Amino acid sequence: MDFGLSGRVALVAAASRGIGYAAARELAREGARVFLCSRDEARAAEAARRISDETGAECVGLRADVTSDEDAARFVGEAHDRTGRVDVCVTNAGGSPATTFETTELEQYRRAFELNALSAVRLARLVVPLMRGRGWGRIINVTSISVKQPIDGLLLSNTVRAGLTGWAKTLSTELAPEGITVNNVAPGWTLTERQDEVAEARGRAEGKTKGEMIAGWASQVPMRRLAGAEEIAAAIAFLASERASYVTGVTLQVDGGWVRGLF
Ligand code: NAD
């Protein structure tokens, strides 16, 4: 299937590793000109260089913290200045800490809202005017299966990402007449560098090996394995594509069947 992404300019936030990196690489493979960011300039540049080397596509890595207005504006501005367009924007960020109601301070809710909701809103406010001018655009938010089935112990993700999902649905309706789609990709357990670190740390605390921790998570998934980041990236690339032209306002879970609900 030709995704029709050749020559399109795609921004991928928080992409020096993990799902963001895999998304940037997949879009580059499809021929998009990719601009990625992360908080560390050297890591962003190194990630972009690896993607360029592997795919032959243009890929530029910039330093930007998605919780900063100034950084986000610089990120989008630089991509637009260099290319004159922004067609695709993948909003992504790090995850919020695992907490329960008892262990969560009010300030942590504020930080989680900033990291996992406002970061996407901020980028959309910057890219939508640029997409409007061309009558075509794709916004894809990386969220979590917690929006379809809240996960025990992830109170902040369960709370904040549900809000973002409501926002994205509203935005999708407002932008639908203008050729701009807004969708979410909701990953299930995905074996990124972060999950690898979490498995190591939680395993130490519970007296288990990393492998036992990962096997325990996998046993909760009907497919009996975790996702690879490239499997999340494939869904992101599809939603970014020309072929997804009539898909908007949806949350596409990529979870090996973990969510037990019908929708
Ligand atoms: P990761 O930690 O492997 O990668 C996160 C990336 O974001 C890194 O490149 C990091 O440098 C960058 N980053 C973090 N905070 C940033 C900021 N403020 N500004 C700019 N860049 C920033 O994480 P991942 O596993 O790829 O997860 C990505 C997102 O998907 C997270 O929000 C996570 O909660 C969510 N998610 C992950 C899983 C999973 O199993 N891995 C499942 C559901 C949801």
**Cα–Cα distance measured from residue 210 to residue 39, given in angstroms and rounded to the nearest whole number:** 27
- Protein residue closest via CA to atom 14 of ligand 1: 94
- Protein residue closest via CA to atom 5 of ligand 1: 94
> What is the Cα gyration radius of the chain?
18
pLDDT digits (tens, 9 = 90+) for 123-177: 999 999 999 999 999 999 999 999 999 999 999 999 999 999 999 999 999 999 9
**Cα–Cα distance measured from residue 120 to residue 13, given in angstroms and rounded to the nearest whole number:** 9
pLDDT digits (tens, 9 = 90+) for 226-249: 999 999 999 999 999 999 999 999
**Cα–Cα distance measured from residue 211 to residue 209, given in angstroms and rounded to the nearest whole number:** 5
Q: Is the model's pLDDT at 216 over the cut of 90?
A: yes
Per DSSP, 218 falls in state H
What is the per-residue pLDDT for 166?
Answer: 98
What are the distances in angstroms from CA 221 to CA 210, 214, 224, 260? 17, 11, 5, 10
Ligand 1 atom closest to Cα of 21? 9
Q: Is the model's pLDDT at 103 over the cut of 90?
A: yes
**Do residues 83 and 60 lie in contact, with contact meaning Cβ atoms separated by under 8 Å?**
no
Q: What angle do CA 33, 227, 140 make, to 5 degrees?
A: 40
**Cα–Cα distance measured from residue 141 to residue 248, given in angstroms and rounded to the nearest whole number:** 12
What is the per-residue pLDDT for 184?
Answer: 98
CA of 133 to the centre of ligand 1 (A): 30
CA of 156 to the centre of ligand 1 (A): 14
Q: Mean pLDDT over residues 93-118, rounded?
A: 97
Ligand 1 atom closest to Cα of 22? 26
Which phi and psi (to 5°) does residue 239 adopt?
-65, -25
Domains annotated on the chain, with CATH: 9-190+230-254 (3.40.50.720), 191-226 (no CATH)
**Cα–Cα distance measured from residue 1 to residue 99, given in angstroms and rounded to the nearest whole number:** 42
pLDDT digits (tens, 9 = 90+) for 254-263: 999 999 999 8
What are the distances in angstroms from CA 128 to CA 9, 81, 121, 140, 233? 14, 16, 10, 12, 22
Q: What angle do CA 86, 21, 168 make, to 5 degrees?
A: 55
For residue 214, how far is the Cα from the chain centroid?
22
Indicate whether residue 183 lines ligand 1 (CB < 6 A).
Answer: no
Residue 261 one-letter amino acid: G
Q: Which two tokens stand for residue 211?
A: 């492998």
**Cα–Cα distance measured from residue 161 to residue 248, given in angstroms and rounded to the nearest whole number:** 18
Exposed / middle / buried, residue 197 (Cβ in 10 Å: 0-12, 13-18, 19+): exposed
Q: What angle do CA 198, 203, 209 make, to 5 degrees?
A: 115
pTM: 0.98
Ligand 1 atom closest to Cα of 19? 26
pLDDT digits (tens, 9 = 90+) for 175-214: 999 999 999 999 999 999 999 999 998 899 899 999 999 9
